[in-house]
Structure 1
Amino acid sequence: MTAKSTAVAAKETAKDDADIDARIYQSIFDGVLNHRLTPGTKLPEPELCQLFGAGRAVVRRVLERLAYDGIVVLRPNKGAVIAAPTPEETREIFEARRALESTLVELAVQRASARDIEALRRQLAEEHEAMHRFDQPSWARLTSCFHLRIGELAGNTILHNYLTELISRCSLIVGVYEAPGNAPCEHDEHAAIVDCIEARDAAGALARMSAHLRELEARIETSRMPREKSLGHLLGMT
């Protein structure tokens, strides 16, 4: 094999690995977003290798990236599991999300075109349809995608990437700790935000988005979240 053909083969191998990386990451990310993967779900490396036809080094690299993004916890000698946010982490995640989405929705008001508004309206229609046919997985996916779409309209890739991470972590929280029967996001609240964007009402959009996210956080039952046990509890004294 010539030096040139060796370089080409190495380049193709690297591309294949990158494609598999992206596929594994996106599959786990989507599983969290759609509430199929809940906190505590085990992610055995051998099974992931078999499912995706990937080597252990590739799988481990993806799990490390997911751990960095707060979606997975890597336990020494026990493998990876989907993360289980605590009440304190929940407060911090929603606080960060409100600050970030306030900036994003303000930018979206400035930059969204008439065609963008039409696309948001179509997405709202899909959301409404999923809600009325009681398709919870589709409903959850569409409500998350609504926020991501506004992030895209803001036109700032870095901020949008941060939002993607925060929404995936919020999906973990909402999927397990929201009271049964509640919507992941209220459809009418989304519609009101779009109305403000279309009217170029930045103040209104900011107020609506902040109230919407506070309402979502208020529906989280933190009493159901795992808490670190004190030494007194472990000793049977409390």
Structure 2
Amino acid sequence: MEQIMATQNTSSSTTPAAAKRGLAGIDKKIYDAVFNAVMSQRLPPGTKLTEAHFCDLFKVSRTIVRKALQRLAHAHIVELKPNHGATIASPTPEETREIFAARRGIEAAIIPLAIARANKTQIARLRKMAKDEHAAYESGDRATWISMSGEFHIALAELAGNSILQRFLAELVSRCSLIIALYEAPGSVACSHDEHDRLIDVIASGDIPLSLKMMEQHLLAIEAKLNLNDEEDKIDLAEILGLSPI
């Protein structure tokens, strides 16, 4: 099994979400290890994460572990429940449908605003993001690829200039990224950079109706590729995180 720490030693080792929240030191290491393991489909939904186990694996105090787990919960990667500890989030099929329906509505509101404000510089930035996303996919860095795909959509929200829509979309993208990482059917490409390229072309042309249609089809296609069948596998957390058990 590929070790997660090998991924972290690349130039994209610090996830965009972690960087934005100012994680540093060992709590960032824990955050990145879990984040990348989830995004690489090595930590399945429902996996229990005990504080004591993390303390042993990373040789740190419960305080540091709790800080990392709280950050992961804020990003919707884990769920924290009183008296039950932390588990990898397990969005239900119904919740998944609701999340994607909400996202389609938010992105439909964003598209016309983004088109009205788009200029050559901003279109060039979107094209660069799509290119970088493709490079991450081609390199096999699935965690970075999923993150960058979400960042592309958030960049459209930034272009729209509505901070409320941007905040709503950021949460929905975070939830969708988790769902894609957990339930994407093997071998499928959830969010194609080619689709992003075509969407950029239509946005640059100023065609609002076609842009709206393409975005809706894009998001529906992502949802259609999800495999929501329940599967339970025993896992070795130390092996998954690339650490030696005590």
Alignment TM-score > 0.5, same fold: yes
Shift of 1:38: 4.8
The number of equivalent residue pairs is: 206
The equivalent residue for 2:130 is 124
Q: Is the 8 A contact 2:31 2:68 kept in 1?
A: no
Equivalent of 2:90, from 84, 98, 102? 84
Specify the code of the residue in structure 1 equivalent to 2:218.
H
Specify the code of the residue in structure 1 equivalent to 2:178.
L
Q: Is the 8 A contact 1:33 1:168 kept in 2?
A: no
Specify the code of the residue in structure 2 equivalent to 1:132.
E
CA distance in 2, matches of 1:167, 1:133: 23
Specify the code of the residue in structure 2 equivalent to 1:152.
E
Could you give the per-residue CA deviations for residues 19-39 of structure 1, whole angstroms, max 9, x where no partner exists?
9x7526998499279715653
The equivalent residue for 2:180 is 174
CA distance in 2, matches of 1:169, 1:89: 10
Specify the code of the residue in structure 2 equivalent to 1:35.
M
Q: Is the 8 A contact 1:34 1:138 kept in 2?
A: no
Shift of 1:68: 6.9
Shift of 1:182: 0.9
Shift of 1:166: 0.9
Unaligned regions of 5+ residues in structure 1, if any?
Answer: 1-18, 227-238
CA distance in 1, matches of 2:161, 2:217: 23
Could you give the per-residue CA deviations for residues 3-33 of structure 1, whole angstroms, max 9, x where no partner exists?
xxxxxxxxxxxxxxxx9x7526998499279
Which of the pair is proportionally richer in helix? 1
The equivalent residue for 2:149 is 143
Identity, % of aligned positions = 41
The equivalent residue for 1:200 is 206
Specify whether residues 205 and 100 from structure 1 end up closer, same or farther in structure 2 by C-alpha distance, changes over 3 A only: same
Shift of 1:75: 2.7
What TM-score comes out, normalization by structure 1 length?
0.71
The equivalent residue for 1:134 is 140
The root-mean-square deviation of aligned C-alpha atoms, in Å, is 3.4
Q: Is the 8 A contact 1:104 1:151 kept in 2?
A: yes
2:223 corresponds to 1:217: yes
The equivalent residue for 2:39 is 35
Shift of 1:138: 2.9
Q: Is the 8 A contact 1:184 1:216 kept in 2?
A: yes
Specify the code of the residue in structure 1 equivalent to 2:156.
I
